[in-house]
Amino acid sequence: MRRGKKQRSGAGSATQPDFAAALEARLMEDGLDAPRVKATPEQVMLIACGALAREIIAVNEANGWDHAVLECLPAKLHNAPQHIAEAVRVKIRDAKARGFDSIFVLYADCGTGGALDAVCAQEGVERIPGPHCYAFFDGVETFETRHEEELGTLYLTDFFAKQFDALIWRGFGLDQAPEMRDILFAHYTRVVYLAQTENPELDAKAEEAAKRLGLSYERRFTGYGDLGTTLAGLAK
Amino acid sequence: MADEEDDIILSALSDDELVLQMHDDLYDGLKDEITEGVNILLERGWTPYDVLTKALVEGMRIVGIDFRDGILFVPEVLLAANAMKAGMFILRPLLAETGAPKQGKMVIGTVKGDIHDIGKNLVGMMMEGAGFDVVDLGINNPVENYLEAIEKEDADILGMSALLTTTMPYMKVVIDEMTAKGIRENYVVLVGGAPLNEEFGKAIGADAYCRDAAVAVETAKEFMEHRKHNQTA
């Protein structure tokens, strides 16, 4: 006997009524476009992953920095990194066409295997250093030092804790085939939640995510790490 | 009504229909149906090798093409691979007994610092399906593991896999060590993994970058043909 063909659920469609959740869902699916105005000489265009939008806005607001114009690509590209580099190139060229002389990319390598660096070099634009966003939140140097002893760790950030269901659980089809969990995460032993903010609700979400994956759990507060210092450098 | 339409009695299908149905079932990742289909074909007197190549490997080849073309995504490929694994579980001991044709031997493993093995496992399974002996070193392999295994197993091919941008440069460490020991030319080196590309493969001195499991099989076969040709020339 044969079961009916499975239906793909699609990832990330939010039904929560509140604005914050709607914004998160938009950052996941569509990204964020800045108003189509011409650049002024002091402005810098930040091209970022949607998973970093809230953090970038929070750092800039907390410091009263209003020099930046932010555009984000959909955070769901995290699961399709082969598309990131060219998507960033499109954004860079669009920003240049709008008169931005100063452009900065807030993306880690993010699994592009150097393709993003190649695009940045070709376009004459810099990016924040680091292999992953969770690495620069942790501080790239610290992260790389610990890599070997932390083998088998799945890292969550505030965004990933919030979007665990859409990006990881549904993103990897575990809603359709939960038995795949033990294949996908066979060699993982724990979840480490690298927290950007003190938020018990997110802590609980991250812990629940670890439980669903059958992994142990640890929370570490990182704040904004290298993202904060990078944005401070751009503000000078 | 829809359920009734979806119900297909596998044992009532002709051989050709059943094989096509198994391709569909692999595509849909239906493990139980693949197990049932394999058993039916064996009961009908098919050789394990024919079941493997005509039903499973061909089905996974189609999955591979649709993954490459962006029609299928990782979860679907994983389910398909899992279904194939169930079929291989039945066929593997039978293949060993019946002495199916052998293409060559491959040692494969994920590089040091990397624990991801889904793609590597799929390549191993497809290579096995294509008639290669596969020695799987698992994950997080330092250079010594690779060098020891290729020598001990008298391998033809070394396959290395990485999912992380931070770990993929380790492939060069292995290849450089092979060169330093003067054994690089004794083996075909194939590399793969999501962040890699052809340019990277060339830059580190691999023989080929394989973008997916089906390409790995085709590439390995080509190199083995070339090797045999050179040996007989």
Q: Which residue of A has its CA nearest to B196?
A: A113
Closest CB from A4, A109, A147 relative to B113: A147
Q: What is the pLDDT of residues B8-64, one digit of tens each?
A: 899 999 999 999 999 999 999 999 999 999 999 999 999 998 999 999 999 998 998
Q: What is the pLDDT of residues B197-223, one digit of tens each?
A: 999 999 999 999 999 888 999 999 999
Whether ipTM tops 0.90, in short, is no
H or E segment and range at residue A45: strand A44-49
Q: Is the dihedral of CA A164, A170, A171, A174 positive or negative?
A: positive
Q: Which residue of B has its CA nearest to A175?
A: B75
Q: What is the pLDDT of residues A128-154, one digit of tens each?
A: 999 999 999 999 999 989 888 899 999
Contact B113 A151 (CB under 8 A): yes
Nearest alpha carbon to residue B161 among B115, B203, B202: B115
pLDDT, position A8: 36
Is the Cβ–Cβ distance between B14 and B44 less than 8 Å?
Answer: no
Q: Which residue of A has its CA nearest to B164?
A: A111
CB pairs A-B closer than 8 Å: 88
- Tell me the whole-structure pTM to 2 decimals: 0.84
Cα dist from B16 to B21, B22, B40, B55, B62, whole Å:
9, 10, 12, 10, 17
The DSSP code for A142 is H
State mean pLDDT over B124-145: 93
Question: What is the residue type of A134?
Answer: Y
- What confidence tier does A119 reach under pLDDT thresholds 50, 70, 90? very high
Taking the CA of residue A172 and the nearest CA in chain B, the distance in Å comes to 5
Is the Cβ–Cβ distance between B158 and B150 less than 8 Å?
Answer: yes
Angle at A137 between CA A132 and CA A142, to 5 degrees: 85
Strands A126-127, A102-106: pairing is parallel
State mean pLDDT over B158-176: 96
Length of chain B: 233
Nearest alpha carbon to residue A50 among A143, A157, A184, A154: A157
